[in-house]
Homo-oligomer: A and B are copies of this chain.
Amino acid sequence: MTTHAKATADLRLACIQFQPAIGRLDDNLKAMERLIRQAAGLGASVAVLPELADSGYVFDSQDELAALAAPIPDGRSAMLLCSLANELNLHIVSGLAECDSDQFFNAAMLCGPSGPIGTYRKLHLWNREKLYFQPGNLGLPVFDTAIGRIGVAICYDGWFPETYRQLALKGAELVCVPTNWVPMPAQGHHPEPMANILHKAAAHSNGIYIACADRVGTERGQPFVGRSLIVGPTGWPIAGPASEAGEEILIATINLGDVAKARALSERNDAIGDRRSDVYG
């Protein structure tokens, strides 16, 4: 509540919503590079891209995934992102199809101007992902970067309030969320996707920034909902929701120093400090 170890500067954060195509690695990497350059041109110092941005999402077989997945940070997609982060003086978080010897992960890499910073592997696998990927085995890391403490979650991870709570308790100020949101079974005609509601609630309850970069389009019959969103630590959107179907870059100016302020819900309350860990751990 008094002075912070790090000065808290305003940052421009970009969430890149686009349509990767299953199996078309070259095209996807080209689109990612084009949009990352565009985000940098808009002044972004952090860019978030969707889940499995390099490979596409709806795999037909393990072999198809195996042909697309690559190591992090030494594979082709990861190396391209690191090189762009260096050239453009950016931090980048992107979903990538990762292979680690004979195992496959629905992963995300965080890299910065000086190179790779860390990898997150999706903990909670959605539907047919369970056929092709191993569940994440790296826990919920928080990366202490030059611009602040950054956590990563991927799509269905956000359905579990524990994800954001654990990241907040470990000091995350910003959680970057590469995602491929699909319609929920009970979405019906409700105009706001449940995914947006979950992330407003999570940002408010934890007093953190959450930046969700979704994909769009329909792939092998599976539609995605778009509606990328950047939420401030009070729980209200500060950019987006983006459109349902269009390629789009959301930009928000954030200040990670606002996290402590947002948690002070009244003169006697703190959204994290008031936890009853004696009751629920």
Residues of A within 8 A of B (CB): 123-128, 130, 135, 139-140, 156, 159-163, 165-166, 184-186, 188, 190, 194, 197-198, 200-202, 204-205, 234-236, 262, 265-269, 271, 274-276, 279-281
Asked if B194 and A267 sit within 8 Å, CB to CB, the answer is no
Pick from B139, B185, B276: contact of A124, CB below 8 A: B276
Query: Bound complex: CA of A161 vs CA of B276, how far in Å?
Result: 11
Chain B residues in 8 Å Cβ range of A126 = 266, 268-269
Asked if A274 and B124 sit within 8 Å, CB to CB, the answer is yes
With both chains docked as a complex, state the minimum distance between the C-beta of A81 and any C-beta of chain B, in angstroms.
Answer: 26
With both chains docked as a complex, state the minimum distance between the C-beta of A202 and any C-beta of chain B, in angstroms.
Answer: 7
Chain B residues in 8 Å Cβ range of A130 = 268
Asked if A127 and B160 sit within 8 Å, CB to CB, the answer is no
With both chains docked as a complex, state the minimum distance between the C-beta of A164 and any C-beta of chain B, in angstroms.
Answer: 8
Chain B residues in 8 Å Cβ range of A190 = 236
